[in-house]
Structure 1
Amino acid sequence: MKKFVLSLLTIFVLSFTVLPIAFGADNGSDTAASVKKADDFKDLKELSQDEKDKFDALIQDGVFSGLSDDTFGLDVKMNRAQFAKVAAIIFNLKSDEALTTSSFTDVRSDDPANSYALPYIEALKEAGLTNGYDAEGKTYKPEGDVSRQELAAFLIRGLGLDDDAKSATPVEDNSVDDWAKGYVALALEKNLMTNQADGTFGGKVSATRKTLALASYEAKQLLAGATPDDPTTPATPVPTTEPDDEPAAPSGEISPEGKKMLYIARQSNQMQQLKSSPDDEKIIADMKDLGFKVTWINCDKFTAEKAEGYDIIFVSNTVNAKYLRSGIMKDIAIPTIYLKNHGLYYLGLSSQEENTEENNIQTISITQPKEKAAAGLTGDVEYLRKTDNKTAIAYGLPGKEAKVIATIPGKPKEATIFYYNKGSHANNGYEVKARLSFFSFVGDYDNSTDDMWKLLDALVLWTLQNG
């Protein structure tokens, strides 16, 4: 396991050198962790379902338990002793429960508050993940708080992304100390943490058990190759195909199994909106069900260089269009699905930018039923379960070399699903570097029909073939 060297250049590294990827243990009582659920704790009952699922996973894995039988302690500050326990569990470090003496003078077996953490702290030291609290490495300070910016640094360093943090564009946030701005920027980009309700990160604010728990879940998922904010998908290895199994894709086609998808989502300061509008989470879960290995990035953190190494890109409808306006996508030769017509417009692949929505309709018309991207559907297909004057189906106005799969009913120029093949051209002459597709939607995925999801999956898989 990678060892991290104590730096004398910053107060942070002098003060905190435990470098785990997850934090948030309780005071040492684990007896109920395997049988408890989030709804058993009165202060977890009102959380959103996706957060409950994350807490359930952490509780059932023995990473967390409550402060009492019916109270989890969401807003309670977490100290370095609790921090050490979770780090040891997440890293699967061997700890000696029989230990009664510590390498640190302030970690004692007779400490009524923190003695439980002694074997975990020693496990961290043995693994090279801590040098203690002070410069001489004599003390650990088990009762000390962990600030939000320190947590961000722990997460990023623990994931082996220290060099990335040093080269990241620092956050412009006065609540964060200069040394931590790169770490905070990367923690936000990886969706390991989010800003506070006031829009700032609150770097010096002590992290609560809720913050530490959710951050530990996201880091654990990322380490396992999963995507932030997916509480339902365990980190399990991809099964190998036995000789008699059916292939994952028809002969000659690319299977999505294990393919790397970069999912570009809303900008960083809008992440709190996921609680009320979890559309990105739902699409990511669907993509993972198809077999993709999904990584999510905020649109304000995206650069062309960060797309390197991916097999397919998915541009969410939650993206702020201004980040596409610069033409950032024009030289990227990776198959891409757009849920935002603006992305096609900025490449010259759709002739209208704004006002490309139709209200008060529920269906789209399949124009090319024999195309694989049509998912075997024909005629007018119900897209939305219900509609009104505030609910819309989006469209684009593609060029002559586009392949149109579906349109707004009765309006053949308004394409709701279309794609451009690699090597085809926009009307302005732009040459397509890889298959680019547009899929119509404006949001509210609970209002989507099964046929809508079927069409989305079919278009994504077709785009992956990159013809």
Structure 2
Amino acid sequence: MKKFVFSLLSILLMSLTVLPFAFAADTDTPAAAVKSVDDFKDLKNLPQADKDKFDSLIQDGVFNGLTEDTFGLDARMNRAQFAKVAAIIFNLEVDDTLTVSSFTDVRSDDPANSYALPYIEALKKAGLTNGYDAEGKTYKPAGDVSRQELAAFLIRGLGLDDEAASATPVDDSTVDDWAKGYVSLALEKNLLANQSAGKFSGKTSATRKMLALASFAAKQILSGSEPEQTEEPEVKPETGKDPAAPAGEISAQGKKLLFITRQSSQMTQLKDNPDDEKIIGRLKDLGFRVTWVNCDKFTADKADGYDLVFVSNTLNSKYLRSGIMKDIAIPTVYLKNHGMYYLGLSSQEENTNEYNIKSTTIAEPKDKAAAGLSGEVDLLLTTDPKTAMAYGLPGKDATVIATVPGKPKEATIFYYNKGTHSDSGYEVQARLSFFSFAGNYDNATEDSWKLLDALVLWTLQNG
């Protein structure tokens, strides 16, 4: 029984290495060459004890890299994707006809995460999840898998649920009450370790490194040996996670957001490039009620009644060329420089990318849109000659938050306040902002998300 449970656990963890939607493989496909820890540049400087663990997991096929030479120690996946992988791997009964969930935030009309509804229900039916909140009313499909959730899943997967129920709960304010028994047992079994100041950091997102070390420890338990004490690096508090507006400012909670996305004929590309889904999920986490519209179906009147407009990088810029946004007096965030260009708020339309860089330089660290960051900040986990970071060339009335390193005129984050003007004279009707589209959002750092959160919330204030 133990061998069977660990086989399922190992396959689950291996599945966490694939990209979203890549959940099935052709059994006739030739197996890839077996790699070792030395094939991944971000594993080479780990302590030797950890390198040995990673090498064992990689050579046993439990983990692959995110790319040919990058393991992706800090990468995460959201709870919707996690649910689908877990349901498939554990061979749970999935009712594909379900359109109503027992969780209030899992809906069949959710453009980002509706696909996961039957899988989330299958996990709940099997007792592998109790939801996100203490009452079990929500699942938070767009959210990351937290460390306390990982602890609970590992303990349940190992068949130790009863032991967790009788364990002495941890006295730790970073862990929710429902998880304290699971965390207590996970610590006792050395599946996971405390972080700084003896705290578990239960609500912090779990990383692939944590998953790998925990899976190795689970293997030791199932073989009848005692796992070694796991040494985990301190995890910085995720101050950019679910931020609230400062006192006296407008909160995103319940505000209506219109998300302008790719044209109708390109919707099938979501499987290959799901960045729109990730951003929509993030916006919902901030509290927004999101409605999306294809750029070829968008007209100015469709923005009426919304508190914020969000223009995706995936749209076809030709649909903005007519200046359709000029008379919309609603705060707007652009992920595409073309939108600012057509309003005269950036002086260059094309060739506004820098390649093979992964950081930005904060120009105004005291501005609220800078999210408390300063100096040079990584927006990407990895980069290569094909990875582009976009920028704009704003006018004199713009507030520039961040720039391409060494190129202060190339702004990666900037905004115009209501009542300011483009250099050509256009008067801004409501705060308009630009955020550099930093490539694949699986490759985005937490600081990148933190800056996007801060800019979105600041734009909402309509100053």
Structure 2 spans left out of the alignment, 5+ residues: 1-11, 16-21, 26-76, 121-130, 132-136, 141-242
Matched residues in 1 for 2:339 and 2:394: separation?
12
State the match for 1:189 in structure 2: none
Measured after TM superposition, the shift of residue 446 of structure 1 is 1.1
Deviation at 1:219, TM superposition (A): 11
Matched, 1:438 2:416: no
Task: Write the letter of the residue equivalent to 1:356.
Answer: T
Q: Could you tell me how far apart the structure 2 residues matched to 1:254 and 1:413 are? A: 31
Aligned partner of 1:295 among 270, 287, 291: 291
**Aligned AA for 1:413?**
K
Please name the residue that 1:256 is paired with.
252
Shift of 1:70: 8.6
Alignment partner, residue 311 of structure 1: 307
Structure 1, residues 411-449: CA drift from partner, whole Å, max 9, x if none? 111000000000100011001000000000153111111
Give the aligned residue type for 2:337: N
**Runs of 4+ with deviation above 6 angstroms:** 54-57, 69-74, 232-235
Helix, strand or coil: the match of 1:415? strand
Alignment partner, residue 332 of structure 1: 328
Give matches, 1:265-414, under 5 Å.
265-414=261-410
The one-character-per-residue Cα deviations of 1:296-346 (angstroms, maximum 9, x if unpaired) are 111111111111111001101111111111111110000000000000000
Q: Which runs of 5+ in 1 are unaligned?
A: 1-36, 61-68, 75-82, 93-216, 239-246
Indicate how the Cα distance of structure 1 residues 331 and 73 shifts in structure 2: closer, same or farther if over 3 A, else same. Answer: same
* SS of residue matched to 1:280: helix
For the aligned residue pairs, the C-alpha RMSD in angstroms reads 3.7
Alpha-carbon distance in structure 1 between the residues aligned to 2:79 and 2:259: 24
Alignment correspondent of 2:54: none
Match runs of 1:56-67 below 5 Å: none
Q: Matched residues in 2 for 1:465 and 1:71: separation?
A: 46
In the TM superposition, 1:30-45 aligns within 5 A as none
Classify 1:466/1:45 alpha carbon distance in 2 versus 1 (closer, same or farther; 3 Å). closer
Structure 2 vs 1, CA of residues 388 and 400 (structure 1 numbering), >3 Å: closer, same or farther?
Answer: same
Alignment of 1:120-199 (within 5 A): none
Q: Matches of 1:465 and 1:427 in 2, distance apart?
A: 23
Give 2:350's aligned amino acid. Answer: E
- Give secondary structure in 2 for the equivalent of 1:334: coil
After superposition, residues 2-81 of structure 1 pair within 5 angstroms as: 46=24, 53=80
Pairwise CA distance, 1:274: 1.0
Contact 1:227-1:294 at 8 Å conserved across structures? no
Amino acid at match of 1:229: N
Instruction: Compute the TM-score of the two structures, normalised by the length of structure 2.
Output: 0.52
Structure 2 residue aligned with 1:120: none
Q: Distance between the aligned counterparts of 1:52 and 1:420, measured in 2?
A: 35
Q: Equivalent residue for 2:184?
A: none
Q: Distance in 1 between matches of 2:247 and 2:92?
A: 55
Instruction: Give CA deviations for 1:360-380 in whole Å, capped at 9, x if unaligned.
Output: 111111010000000011111
Q: Tell me which residue corresponds to 1:229.
A: 113
- Give me the whole-angstrom Cα distance separating, in 2, the residues matched to 1:91 and 1:458: 31
Counterpart amino acid of 1:330? K
Structure 1 pair 386–56 and aligned structure 2 pair: CA distance change class (3 A): closer
Secondary structure at the counterpart of residue 261 of structure 1: strand
CA contact (8 A) 2:111 2:277 kept: no
Aligned-pair CA distance for 1:282 = 0.5
CA contact (8 A) 2:335 2:436 kept: yes
Partner of 1:154: none
SS of 1:337's equivalent?
A: strand
Post-superposition shift, 1:251? 2.2
Q: Say if 1:447 and 1:219 are closer, same or farther in 2 by CA, change over 3 A.
A: closer
Q: Letter of the aligned partner of 1:452 in structure 2?
A: S
Which of these two proteins has the greater Rg computed from alpha carbons?
1
Query: Deviation string for 1:176-211 (max 9, x for gaps)?
Result: xxxxxxxxxxxxxxxxxxxxxxxxxxxxxxxxxxxx
Distance in 2 (CA, whole Å) between partners of 1:448 and 1:431 is 33
- Number of residue pairs the alignment of both structures matches: 270
Tell me the amino acid that sits aligned with residue 46 of structure 1: A
Calculate percent identity across the aligned residue pairs.
63
SS state at 1:358 partner: strand
CA contact (8 A) 2:100 2:108 kept: no
Evaluate the alpha carbon distance shift between residue 91 and residue 392 of structure 1 in structure 2; reply closer, same or farther with a 3 A threshold. Answer: closer
Does the C-alpha gap of structure 1 residues 381 and 54 become closer, same or farther in structure 2, counting only changes over 3 Å? closer
